[in-house]
Amino acid sequence: MLYLLLIILMVIVSVLMCLIVLIQKSKGGGLASGFASSNQIMGVRKTADFLEKTTWTLAGLMVIISVVSAYTLPSNNAVEQSAIMKQAQEEAATNPYSMPLSSDAPVLEMPTAASDSASN
Mean of the per-residue pLDDT values of the chain: 74
Residues of the domain holding 51: 1-16+38-72
Per-residue pLDDT tens digits for 39-49: 455 555 677 78
Cβ(48)–Cβ(28) under 8 Å? yes
Whether 115 is in a domain gets the answer: no
Question: Which pLDDT score, from 0 to 100, does residue 3 have?
Answer: 87
Whether 78 is in a domain gets the answer: no
Per-residue pLDDT tens digits for 10-51: 999 999 999 998 888 766 555 555 554 544 555 556 777 888
Q: How many domains does the chain have?
A: 1
